[in-house]
Amino acid sequence: MSFAQKTPPAAAAGARLRHWLQVILAGGCFSLAFAPLTWRWAVVPALFLLLKALQGQSPKTGARLGFVFGFSAYACTLTWLWQVFGAFSLALFAILALFTGVFGWLHGIIESRIASFGKRNLAIAACWLACEYIRSEHFWLEFSWATPGLAMGPHQMLQLIGVYGASFGVVLGTGFLQKNSTIHGGIVILSPFLYGVWVSESQKPAAPKSPVKVMLVQNESSDFEQHLAASQKAGADVQLVVWPEISTSRDPRRVPDQWARLKNEAQLHQRTFTLGTYTPSPDERGWYNTALTLDATGALGTHVKHHLVHFFNEGIPGQSFVPIPTTLGQIGTSICFDNDFEDVPRRMTLAGAEFFAVPSMDPARWGARQHEQHAELVRIRAAENRRWFAVASSSGVTQIVSPKGKVTARLPTLTEGTLQGVVGREQQLTFYTRWGWMFPGVVITAAGIWMLWGCLSRSRS
């Protein structure tokens, strides 16, 4: 007998309304895990409410509930998009919500085909991982913000399975909380993540190895003179000065006076500089968003921004992921949005980067909430690869991050100023950097083969 036959119409309508309200509430709860509140634990009840609402639903209804959850979650979390795109942000919320809608649809299919509760939860967590990973790294509108793994923040599990592995673990553990008989299993799965977050936030970072004294400039202008003047106030022991992304609108190598003054400043204090600028393409028809590193001898190397911000003209994307050799060590100079994704910092680390000096830019008009949410991503990259990060951002967050993802120093957002601190040189590669980054691909592929085999076996029988 069908649900509709067993349940009076009024009760059925009430149940449907409860499910809709439940996923809306879940979306709002999900947003609490991110800045400005950063109640990391809130991601677990949010996913619990979502998975509870999806139980027993058809694929079609599951897709609708998943979409509503996603729209509610992203609209509440990413409110700053209104300041950037206005009403068009509604379309962006809807595009992101399509992926949670697909998850809801897959959830309905899995429930109807897999009887075992444990296997069903594994398949559901794999489907979430697939939707999140494709949305974040491989969809044309790649966007890695607002995920369960990111909500958990930096923790020790990241150096093994990365942020996408953390999302898989959180969804899987929350799934096991749905039944009284498997609650203990859910607690066991969630414990390493929750404990890791507590350890990360409570412990002091270890002293940097082979310390390098850095100064970071926070200034939203693209004025060479302002950045140079700020640099000249550095302490005598500062070895590396980092300017934000596009801190000078012209390649200083093409402005003889600027280039001479920069080299003179580097020689006078025996300093290295990393700064963001524009550089022209070889045919002079295009341009690159570039991190230029130099010392008294001249240019040491450049990195061209690989991941360009959507809907903005950021030139031609770069295709190289190598660190810059300097007297201070091998420096990774990934630029701003590069650090929102796993590939550029990981490849630079594999190529020998011992620490990172990051030029970054978040316009002041995007607001402090956007700045704080964006700053979390570089902390994830630091914890995944166990590297120090020194980030100079135009209006924030300028910060120094330890290899465990903990902020050791920072400036307030939406201000101008400089930050002096220490980073260390690290050479050991994490399991994640070597192999753990493949976790999403392995899980998705294995789950796909398993479910396809099950479908084929059922068809033959």
The pair of three-digit structure tokens given for residue 58, joined into one six-digit string: 């058809």
Q: Measure the CA–CA gap between 95 and 175, rounded to whole angstroms.
A: 25
The pair of three-digit structure tokens given for residue 432, joined into one six-digit string: 């994640």
Q: Measure the CA–CA gap between 120 and 113, rounded to whole angstroms.
A: 9
Helix (H) or strand (E) holding 457: helix 439-460
- pTM for the model: 0.94
Q: Domains of the chain: which residue ranges?
A: 3-203, 212-429
Dihedral angle over CA of 260, 266, 272, 277, nearest 10: -30
Q: Measure the CA–CA gap between 25 and 20, rounded to whole angstroms.
A: 9
Note whether 242 and 357 are within 8 A (CB).
yes
**Residues near 391 by beta carbon (within 8 Å), at least 6 away in sequence:** 216, 242, 358, 360, 375, 378, 397, 398, 399, 400, 401
Left (φ > 0), alpha (ψ -120 to 50) or beta: where does 459 sit? alpha
Helix (H) or strand (E) holding 272: strand 272-280
Note whether 205 and 408 are within 8 A (CB).
yes
Note whether 68 and 57 are within 8 A (CB).
no
Strands 240-242 and 212-218, by their bridges, are parallel
Q: Which CATH code of 1.20.1370.20, 2.160.20.10, 3.60.110.10, 2.60.120.330 fits the domain covering 212-429?
A: 3.60.110.10
* Per-residue pLDDT at 448: 86
* Per-residue pLDDT at 371: 98
* Per-residue pLDDT at 456: 66
Q: Measure the CA–CA gap between 98 and 364, rounded to whole angstroms.
A: 30
* pLDDT tens over the chain, length 461 residues: 344 455 577 766 777 889 999 999 999 999 999 999 999 999 999 999 999 999 999 999 999 999 999 999 999 999 999 999 999 999 999 999 999 999 999 999 999 889 899 999 999 999 999 999 999 999 999 999 999 999 999 999 999 999 999 999 999 999 999 999 999 999 999 998 888 777 777 778 888 999 999 999 999 999 999 999 999 999 999 999 999 999 999 999 999 999 999 999 999 999 999 999 999 998 888 999 999 999 999 999 999 999 999 999 999 999 999 999 999 999 999 999 999 999 999 999 999 999 999 999 999 999 999 999 999 999 999 999 999 999 999 998 999 999 999 999 999 999 999 999 999 999 999 999 999 999 999 999 998 898 777 666 665 65
The pair of three-digit structure tokens given for residue 298, joined into one six-digit string: 């001249």
* Per-residue pLDDT at 285: 87
* Per-residue pLDDT at 3: 43
**What strands lie across the sheet with 212-218, from one edge to the other?**
298-304, 287-295, 272-280, 240-242, 212-218, 417-423
The pair of three-digit structure tokens given for residue 394, joined into one six-digit string: 């135009």
Q: Give the E-state strand segments of 285-381 in sequence order.
A: 287-295, 298-304, 324-326, 329-332, 355-360
Helix (H) or strand (E) holding 89: helix 88-113
**Nearest partner of 371 among 405, 402, 399, 344, judged by Cα:** 399
